[in-house]
Amino acid sequence: MKLNEIRDNQGARPTGKRVGRGEGSGMGKTSTRGQKGLGARSGGKVMLGFEGGQNPLYRRLPQRGFNNFNFTTNYATINIADLQRFVDAGRIDAKATITAEYLKEVKIIKKIEDGLKVLGNGEVTVALQIEATAATKSAIEKIEKAGGKLAVK
Protein backbone atom coordinates (compact mmCIF):
# COMPACT_ATOMS: atom_id res chain seq x y z
CA MET A 1 0.00 0.00 0.00
CA LYS A 2 1.24 3.48 -0.93
CA LEU A 3 0.11 6.89 0.33
CA ASN A 4 -1.34 7.82 -3.06
CA GLU A 5 -3.49 4.67 -3.02
CA ILE A 6 -5.28 5.41 0.30
CA ARG A 7 -9.04 5.82 -0.21
CA ASP A 8 -12.08 6.14 2.05
CA ASN A 9 -14.18 3.02 2.56
CA GLN A 10 -17.09 2.57 0.14
CA GLY A 11 -20.04 4.74 1.33
CA ALA A 12 -18.00 6.58 3.97
CA ARG A 13 -18.64 9.94 2.29
CA PRO A 14 -22.08 10.54 0.77
CA THR A 15 -22.11 12.12 -2.67
CA GLY A 16 -23.27 15.75 -2.68
CA LYS A 17 -26.71 16.83 -3.89
CA ARG A 18 -26.81 17.80 -7.56
CA VAL A 19 -29.52 20.43 -7.51
CA GLY A 20 -31.05 22.20 -10.48
CA ARG A 21 -30.49 19.32 -12.91
CA GLY A 22 -34.05 18.81 -14.10
CA GLU A 23 -37.40 17.75 -12.66
CA GLY A 24 -36.56 14.08 -12.88
CA SER A 25 -33.78 14.37 -10.33
CA GLY A 26 -36.27 15.45 -7.67
CA MET A 27 -34.17 18.55 -7.05
CA GLY A 28 -35.01 20.60 -10.14
CA LYS A 29 -37.14 23.72 -10.60
CA THR A 30 -36.58 25.52 -7.24
CA SER A 31 -33.38 23.57 -6.47
CA THR A 32 -34.48 22.63 -2.91
CA ARG A 33 -34.92 26.29 -1.96
CA GLY A 34 -38.70 26.11 -1.63
CA GLN A 35 -41.01 28.74 -3.11
CA LYS A 36 -40.66 32.52 -2.85
CA GLY A 37 -39.05 34.41 0.03
CA LEU A 38 -35.67 35.50 1.29
CA GLY A 39 -34.25 31.98 1.36
CA ALA A 40 -35.11 31.48 -2.31
CA ARG A 41 -33.23 34.58 -3.45
CA SER A 42 -29.57 34.71 -4.39
CA GLY A 43 -27.56 36.18 -1.55
CA GLY A 44 -30.61 35.79 0.68
CA LYS A 45 -29.40 35.26 4.19
CA VAL A 46 -30.91 36.62 7.38
CA MET A 47 -28.61 38.48 9.72
CA LEU A 48 -27.15 36.69 12.71
CA GLY A 49 -29.66 36.73 15.55
CA PHE A 50 -32.69 37.52 13.32
CA GLU A 51 -35.83 35.90 14.72
CA GLY A 52 -38.36 36.47 11.95
CA GLY A 53 -39.33 39.96 13.10
CA GLN A 54 -39.73 38.99 16.75
CA ASN A 55 -37.68 41.17 19.08
CA PRO A 56 -34.35 39.30 19.12
CA LEU A 57 -32.73 37.91 22.24
CA TYR A 58 -29.87 40.42 22.23
CA ARG A 59 -32.43 43.24 22.43
CA ARG A 60 -34.67 41.56 25.01
CA LEU A 61 -31.87 41.24 27.55
CA PRO A 62 -30.84 44.24 29.66
CA GLN A 63 -27.58 46.05 28.96
CA ARG A 64 -24.83 45.42 31.47
CA GLY A 65 -21.37 46.74 31.99
CA PHE A 66 -19.49 49.97 32.45
CA ASN A 67 -19.46 52.87 30.04
CA ASN A 68 -17.00 55.68 30.64
CA PHE A 69 -19.06 58.11 28.52
CA ASN A 70 -21.28 58.85 31.53
CA PHE A 71 -18.30 60.30 33.37
CA THR A 72 -16.79 62.55 30.68
CA THR A 73 -16.32 66.23 31.51
CA ASN A 74 -17.74 68.66 28.98
CA TYR A 75 -16.52 72.20 29.34
CA ALA A 76 -17.97 75.35 27.86
CA THR A 77 -14.87 76.60 26.02
CA ILE A 78 -13.82 80.07 24.97
CA ASN A 79 -10.64 81.38 23.34
CA ILE A 80 -8.92 84.51 24.63
CA ALA A 81 -9.20 85.97 21.12
CA ASP A 82 -13.00 85.73 21.47
CA LEU A 83 -12.87 87.40 24.89
CA GLN A 84 -10.84 90.28 23.40
CA ARG A 85 -13.32 90.57 20.51
CA PHE A 86 -16.30 90.72 22.90
CA VAL A 87 -14.57 93.33 25.08
CA ASP A 88 -13.87 95.46 21.99
CA ALA A 89 -17.50 95.10 20.87
CA GLY A 90 -18.76 96.10 24.34
CA ARG A 91 -20.51 92.83 25.10
CA ILE A 92 -18.19 92.09 28.03
CA ASP A 93 -17.29 94.60 30.74
CA ALA A 94 -13.48 94.48 31.05
CA LYS A 95 -13.64 95.41 34.76
CA ALA A 96 -16.10 92.61 35.65
CA THR A 97 -14.96 89.21 36.84
CA ILE A 98 -15.59 86.83 33.97
CA THR A 99 -17.17 83.53 35.04
CA ALA A 100 -19.21 80.88 33.25
CA GLU A 101 -22.39 82.35 34.79
CA TYR A 102 -21.47 85.85 33.55
CA LEU A 103 -20.80 84.59 30.01
CA LYS A 104 -24.15 82.77 30.00
CA GLU A 105 -25.88 85.89 31.28
CA VAL A 106 -24.47 88.00 28.41
CA LYS A 107 -25.37 85.15 26.00
CA ILE A 108 -21.85 84.28 24.85
CA ILE A 109 -22.12 80.64 25.90
CA LYS A 110 -25.34 78.61 25.82
CA LYS A 111 -24.64 75.98 28.49
CA ILE A 112 -22.33 76.06 31.48
CA GLU A 113 -22.04 72.23 31.45
CA ASP A 114 -19.14 71.16 33.76
CA GLY A 115 -17.58 74.60 33.93
CA LEU A 116 -15.62 77.05 31.80
CA LYS A 117 -12.34 76.25 30.05
CA VAL A 118 -10.24 79.09 28.68
CA LEU A 119 -8.16 78.27 25.60
CA GLY A 120 -5.06 80.19 24.53
CA ASN A 121 -5.82 80.80 20.86
CA GLY A 122 -5.23 84.44 19.88
CA GLU A 123 -3.97 87.48 21.78
CA VAL A 124 -5.45 89.66 24.53
CA THR A 125 -4.53 93.30 25.27
CA VAL A 126 -6.97 94.10 28.10
CA ALA A 127 -6.32 93.07 31.71
CA LEU A 128 -9.12 90.60 32.46
CA GLN A 129 -10.12 88.95 35.73
CA ILE A 130 -11.29 85.42 34.89
CA GLU A 131 -12.52 82.57 37.09
CA ALA A 132 -12.57 79.26 35.21
CA THR A 133 -12.72 75.55 35.94
CA ALA A 134 -9.82 74.81 33.60
CA ALA A 135 -7.39 76.68 31.38
CA THR A 136 -4.49 75.93 29.07
CA LYS A 137 -0.96 77.02 30.00
CA SER A 138 -0.79 79.37 27.01
CA ALA A 139 -4.06 81.06 28.05
CA ILE A 140 -2.76 81.66 31.59
CA GLU A 141 0.54 83.06 30.27
CA LYS A 142 -1.10 85.42 27.76
CA ILE A 143 -3.65 86.79 30.26
CA GLU A 144 -0.98 87.38 32.93
CA LYS A 145 1.27 89.01 30.31
CA ALA A 146 -1.57 91.48 29.54
CA GLY A 147 -1.82 92.29 33.26
CA GLY A 148 -4.89 90.20 34.04
CA LYS A 149 -5.47 87.24 36.31
CA LEU A 150 -6.89 83.79 35.54
CA ALA A 151 -7.97 81.84 38.62
CA VAL A 152 -8.51 78.12 38.06
CA LYS A 153 -10.92 76.61 40.59
Helix (H) or strand (E) holding 119: strand 116-119
Domain boundaries, the chain: 76-152
pLDDT at site 70: 87
* pTM higher than 0.75: no
pLDDT at site 1: 86
- 76-152: CATH class: alpha beta
pLDDT at site 44: 85
pLDDT at site 14: 93
- pLDDT lower than 50: segments of the chain: none
Cα separation, 9 vs 12, in Å, equals 5
Strands 134-135 and 116-119: parallel
